[in-house]
Structure 1
Amino acid sequence: MTTARDLALVILSLPPDRTVERGDLSLALAGAEAIDLLEAGALTLDGDRMVPGPEPATGDRLLDQAATALVGREPYETVEDWLWRRGSGLAGVYAKELEGAGLIAPSTGRGLRPRTSRSAPADTPQLRRAAERQASGEPVLAALTSVLRIGDTPPDHHENPDGDAITKVVGAVGDTVTELRAVRLRRDVEDAAFDNIWRGY
């Protein structure tokens, strides 16, 4: 299992009162893929630029797709640009993949919603491994779940993952998620203001 799959399993197994926005999860999953590619030697960072390396067969279909999707020419792509591009709709892709593998129950409502543990297949090895990884406080998964405000500590107080490149990716995930939340908040405020104007007529 990859970091991205572990993250998806952790988030999609949350109880209904602990929700994560689809866009936030998509950005975090793209970051998790970048970290997995760094650890596989398929990617290095030159500053904030993502430089592809060899494309090893990782044994994971979605991670192999991510490796193939890396921009292979200079000036290469920044981590932030990668998160926005690769992350587009990625939460739904992972949900469908995990549903197809029987690791989570199919979604029954609109959109992508976290599920209770009762609605996921009970005690699968993959789900158990992801939960154990989260419970152990493993730095990479802890950092990503903290960015999503799911971890037990605030994002600024978790242990830094090993490696400058991984730390840069996690930082970029935090920045893009914060930016997306700001856009979402601004849109909600504008929508509320528009509704108020119409109520005045």
Structure 2
Amino acid sequence: MTTAKDLFIIAMDPQPDRSVGQGDLSLALAGAELIDLIEAEAVALDGDSIVPGQQSALDDRLLDEAAAVLAQQAPYEQVEDWLWRRGRDLAAAYQAALEADGQLARGRSGRSLFGAERLEVVDSPARRQALSRWEAEEPVLAALAAAVGIMSGASEEEPNLDENEAATTVLAVVNDAVMELEAVRQRRSIEKAAFANVWRGP
């Protein structure tokens, strides 16, 4: 399992205080993919630019897909641009992939991330791995979850990623992108309310 799939499973937890927006989650999933690609040495960071590394199969269809769509020659893509491009509808892609793998099933007590259909995570080695990383407060997973509003509850301190400069860079950009998306939502909400008031009249 990848960090992105572990994050998706954590986001599917039916607890009411863990509601996650599709856009926020998609951005964080793109960040998780990039961190896994860096860990696998498939790519590296040169400042904020993503440069290609070793070309090898990554034993995960979505991660292989992510590596395949990265720029292989200069000018290289910036981390921020990658998050917005790769993140488009990425949460839905992970939902479909986990359903196809039998990791998600329809159920009454599950979570509905997109649309009315409720899904729940099937008890499996993949789920147990994700929960193990979560309960151990694995720094990268904890930081990605926090970026989309999922807190572990065990500690209010930020995860310590001082020894992983590349992951720290990616996580900082993920946080900025999520905040930018929230600002766009708020602006649209204000504009919608103002438009409604115009039609409503004095």
Shift of 1:55: 2.1
Q: Pick closer, same or farther for the CA change 1:88–1:34 going to 2, 3 Å.
A: same
Match of 1:159 in 2: 159
Classify the secondary structure of the residue corresponding to 1:44.
strand
Shift of 1:159: 1.7
Match of 1:83 in 2: 83
Q: What TM-score, normalized by structure 1, do the two folds share? A: 0.90
Task: Tell me whether 106-115 or 124-133 shows the greater mean CA deviation.
Answer: 106-115
Q: Pick closer, same or farther for the CA change 1:105–1:146 going to 2, 3 Å.
A: same
Q: What TM-score, normalized by structure 2, do the two folds share? A: 0.90
5 Å matches for 1:92-171? 92-106=92-106, 111=114, 119-121=120-122, 123-152=123-152, 157-161=157-161, 162-171=163-172
1: CA distance, partners of 2:149 / 2:192: 25
Calculate percent identity across the aligned residue pairs: 50
Q: Pick closer, same or farther for the CA change 1:168–1:6 going to 2, 3 Å.
A: same
Letter in 1 for 2:193: A
RMSD: 2.4
Q: Pick closer, same or farther for the CA change 1:97–1:186 going to 2, 3 Å.
A: same
Q: Which segments of structure 1 move beyond 6 Å, counting only runs of 4 or more?
A: 107-110
Match of 1:5 in 2: 5
* Unmatched runs of 5 consecutive residues or more in structure 1: none
Letter in 2 for 1:188: S
* Unmatched runs of 5 consecutive residues or more in structure 2: none
Q: Pick closer, same or farther for the CA change 1:112–1:5 going to 2, 3 Å.
A: farther
| Contact 1:16-1:114 at 8 Å conserved across structures | no
| Contact 1:24-1:148 at 8 Å conserved across structures | yes
Q: Pick closer, same or farther for the CA change 1:19–1:114 going to 2, 3 Å.
A: farther
Letter in 1 for 2:8: A
Classify the secondary structure of the residue corresponding to 1:170.
helix
Question: Higher strand proportion, which one?
Answer: 2
